[in-house]
Structure 1
Amino acid sequence: MKAESETKNQKADSTELDQSSFGLSALNFKLKIGFDGKRAANNLTGLGNYSRSLIEHLADQFPEHEYLVYAPKVKSARQIDAFFEKENIKLKLPKSGPFLWRALNILKDLTQDECQIFHGLSHEIPLAIQHTRIKSIVTIHDLIFLRFPQYYKLIDRKLYEWKSKSACKRADKIIAISEKTKEDIINLYGINPEKIEVIYQSCDDSFKTAFPKEKLSRIKATYKLPDKYLLNVGTIEERKNLKLVVQALKEVNEEYKLVVIGKQTAYFNSIEKEIEKLGLKNRVLFLKNIPFTDLPGIYQMANVFVYPSFYEGFGIPIIEALYSGVPVVAATGSCLEEAGGPNSLYVSPNDATGLAKAINQIIENPQLQKEMKEKGLEFVQKFNSSVVTQQLMNCYLSL
């Protein structure tokens, strides 16, 4: 409660400072902010969730402004329908046809709608927007396609690089979702650091409230979850490094099993072979297509969250775990220390023995578990939705 109180006080102080600094007040200043809504209006995971969450929190926290979501089409789905039901969030479809609309023709619509700011939520903004009066911001999530080019097709890599580099050079402001991503933008694209602002992401608010015991019991029975388990969440691809978790599991107390949630790729075949080779078939449970509403419960019943990814732009699953009161072991080498904070444990993404040692250290020490849960929950308040949303509005107002 103390940490929550301090966060609220800090937020109130910063809000007062920011409004006086810009000479703006929520009572007499109204913005029209346009967003690249392709994913918000069509994707049900990943960047779709990120886009809707960001805009929804802005609309709730700053209802005096208008939020225009530009998308070439819209998908009919419960969460998307609910998103567009908010009074100050408006869907904007092409007035001039979808051809080249997001890249160029959208500028006519933005001008007619009198948008003052356009926010490209994922690595791109319209061409020639720098020649209009509309201020532009682009969010860069990561430059993994340059750091680990072997994971991408050549044509995809070149397209991602061209779009993101062009957007970084033309935008009035760049939002990086971590200090590591900011560092990559500076080093790989030669961008002035003063143009880049780090604004972290939060996770869905459903992870921030403990589920009642009856609901947890229902979830446990539905998915046949073990009594004690390690949890790994994310696409099962080489970069996420699930094989290291499997190798470490061999050296972890046999009472603990591994629960894996994520979309399977071709890399999954090598995971199956590793499990077979190590004789761990009865200790690994794979879950697919889990309803998002059940996911927080699966987190909350885990004993340790394990995330040894070689490289991430930020690491939202770590935030989800900390909010769920679960100790975290993650990998060194990218930005995961930023997400996990000083009281999570970190190992090399190539050290299976070190990973097993860190996991055993947690499960064998109840006092350490308690400390990691409490301090992790305290640390993760810096990513609270209200804090992040305030920082984002301050960024808009600074333009």
Structure 2
Amino acid sequence: MNIGYDAKRIFHNNTGLGNYGRDIVRILTDNPGFQHFYLFNTKKSNLENKVALQKATIVYPKGWFWKAFPSLWRLFGQWKQINVDSIDVFHGLSGELPLQFGAKRIPRVVTIHDVIFLSHPQYYNFFDRIIYRLKFQYAIKHADRIVAISEQTKRDLIHYLKANQSKISVIYQGCNDVYKKTYSESDKDAVRKKFNLPKTFILNVGTIQARKNVLSLVKAIHGTGFPLVLVGQEKGYAKQVHEYIDQNDMGQQVLFIKNITSAELARLYQCATVFCYPSLCEGFGIPIIEALYSKLPVITTRNGCFPEAAGPDSMFIDPVNISEIRQSLEHLFNNPDQREQMAEKGYVYVQRFADSQVSGDLTQLYKSLV
């Protein structure tokens, strides 16, 4: 099979949606059932070295108009090039499909990661909500199959957008192979030294923004002495986090890390004591998967998609209950045997998100359409 992918996020998003697309291409490149991938990209990118291109061709806009207006090409002009290439299935990886497909009928798949803009509209401005709704409604109407990355996303699609349940397949996403390796003490010591990490610490990974709810975690460790390492880029919400830290003299207790490579982050996971992720809403929560592969005990939110990602042996909390978060952290820090048991059971659970499972599920889906 030859698969076409809407690859804008693959080449222009260094985290979440980009990681999802890059992982799919990497995983399926190793599958002999796929001959070639056509990656439809709006313009050149410095992320090309992160993409498995052994079986891939990057397709750019043709013609001066589409080159000058690549966003319009993605919506209106891309279909012309899709029709002339030998593509068996076209897959929109981030909730979008081109608005026209021309005369040649190519099966269409779209992945929906979440509908947080509808379930938690307070995190989005009015115009973004309108645009996302229009794009998603068009995609779910015209797609032959919809991939939801969690059962929670499937439920939300049916509830908020009245998606046809029979068209939805839940196919979980995995994570980069770098998080599945076991690193030597010297590898981990190098990361400890570079980032001046404490001997034991709580880890949280993700963009520091309101829905990730990092401030609740910072408040929970106030007065405990537990070090906290926050890895991620900062949005406007981060100002509140810094203000609380400054006001409570916690500068030595909370460490911020940005611009870290995947290889370094993988080693950092294996240096940590506990992973705490009190996010308010996600489509799935890939950092949880990364932590479980790193054999790190996880504390996360008890509702939504989080139990799907974290499994039955993780510890669950109310993300706005500061006392409950603190008690959970204290319990795990004081019970190393339980931490070890949680880590081992979590590692068994996370195998359901292995590359082989993702590859098999996508192969079956594509074959059903060809």
TM-score over 0.5 for the alignment? yes
1:47-58 matches, cutoff 5 A:
47-58=17-28
Match of 1:392 in 2: 362
Cα distance between partner residues in 2 of 1:269 and 1:105? 41
Post-superposition Cα deviations, 1:377-399, rounded to whole Å, max 9, x if no partner, equal 00000001111111111111111
1:251 shift after superposition: 5.3
Residues 1:89 and 2:28 aligned together: no
Residues 1:160 and 2:132 aligned together: yes
Cα distance between partner residues in 1 of 2:286 and 2:362? 18
Cα distance between partner residues in 1 of 2:282 and 2:50? 30
Match of 1:19 in 2: none
Aligned amino acid, residue 97 of structure 2 = I
Q: Secondary structure at the match of 2:108?
A: strand
Cα distance between partner residues in 1 of 2:255 and 2:172? 32
1:334 counterpart (304, 316, 327): 304
Cα distance between partner residues in 2 of 1:222 and 1:326? 21
Match of 1:292 in 2: 262
The 3 A distance-change label for structure 1 pair 170 and 64 is: closer
1:314 counterpart (268, 274, 284): 284
Cα distance between partner residues in 2 of 1:187 and 1:62? 38
Match of 2:76 in 1: 104
Alpha-carbon contact 1:251-1:353 (below 8 Å) kept: no
1:210 shift after superposition: 1.1
Cα distance between partner residues in 2 of 1:122 and 1:183? 18
Alpha-carbon contact 1:104-1:128 (below 8 Å) kept: yes
Alpha-carbon contact 1:84-1:90 (below 8 Å) kept: no
1:43 shift after superposition: 2.8
Aligned amino acid, residue 350 of structure 2 = V
1:258 shift after superposition: 0.4
Post-superposition Cα deviations, 1:159-178, rounded to whole Å, max 9, x if no partner, equal 11110111011100000000
1:157 shift after superposition: 1.4
1:172-211 matches, cutoff 5 A:
172-211=144-183
Post-superposition Cα deviations, 1:166-197, rounded to whole Å, max 9, x if no partner, equal 10111000000000000000000111211100
Match of 1:116 in 2: 88
The 3 A distance-change label for structure 1 pair 260 and 163 is: same
Residues 1:214 and 2:182 aligned together: no
Residues 1:145 and 2:117 aligned together: yes
Alpha-carbon contact 2:145-2:168 (below 8 Å) kept: yes
The 3 A distance-change label for structure 1 pair 64 and 137 is: closer
Cα distance between partner residues in 2 of 1:268 and 1:76? 27
Residues 1:69 and 2:39 aligned together: yes
The 3 A distance-change label for structure 1 pair 82 and 295 is: closer
Which stretch of the first structure deviates more once superposed, 38-47 or 183-192? 38-47
Aligned pair count reads 364
Alpha-carbon contact 1:305-1:321 (below 8 Å) kept: yes
Aligned amino acid, residue 51 of structure 2 = F
Which blocks of at least 5 consecutive residues in structure 1 are unaligned? 1-30
Cα distance between partner residues in 2 of 1:64 and 1:335? 31
Post-superposition Cα deviations, 1:331-362, rounded to whole Å, max 9, x if no partner, equal 12320110000000111111111111111121
The 3 A distance-change label for structure 1 pair 84 and 339 is: closer
The 3 A distance-change label for structure 1 pair 230 and 130 is: farther
Q: Normalising by structure 1, what TM-score?
A: 0.88
Post-superposition Cα deviations, 1:5-33, rounded to whole Å, max 9, x if no partner, equal xxxxxxxxxxxxxxxxxxxxxxxxxx121
Identity %: 39
Cα distance between partner residues in 1 of 2:357 and 2:257? 33
Alpha-carbon contact 1:84-1:91 (below 8 Å) kept: no
Match of 1:233 in 2: 205
Cα distance between partner residues in 1 of 2:183 and 2:82? 43
Post-superposition Cα deviations, 1:217-260, rounded to whole Å, max 9, x if no partner, equal 111001000011000111111100001101110254x2x30000
Cα distance between partner residues in 2 of 1:354 and 1:132? 57
Q: Secondary structure at the match of 1:39?
A: helix
Match of 2:217 in 1: 245
Cα distance between partner residues in 1 of 2:311 and 2:247? 35
Cα distance between partner residues in 1 of 2:94 and 2:13? 13
Alpha-carbon contact 1:61-1:386 (below 8 Å) kept: no
Aligned amino acid, residue 66 of structure 1 = H
Match of 1:374 in 2: 344
Q: Normalising by structure 2, what TM-score?
A: 0.95
Q: Secondary structure at the match of 2:256?
A: strand
The 3 A distance-change label for structure 1 pair 355 and 293 is: same
Alpha-carbon contact 1:122-1:139 (below 8 Å) kept: yes
1:95 shift after superposition: 2.5
Cα distance between partner residues in 2 of 1:67 and 1:193? 28
Aligned amino acid, residue 263 of structure 2 = T
CA RMSD in angstroms comes to 1.5
2:241 counterpart (264, 271, 285): 271
Q: Secondary structure at the match of 1:310?
A: coil
Cα distance between partner residues in 2 of 1:73 and 1:110? 16
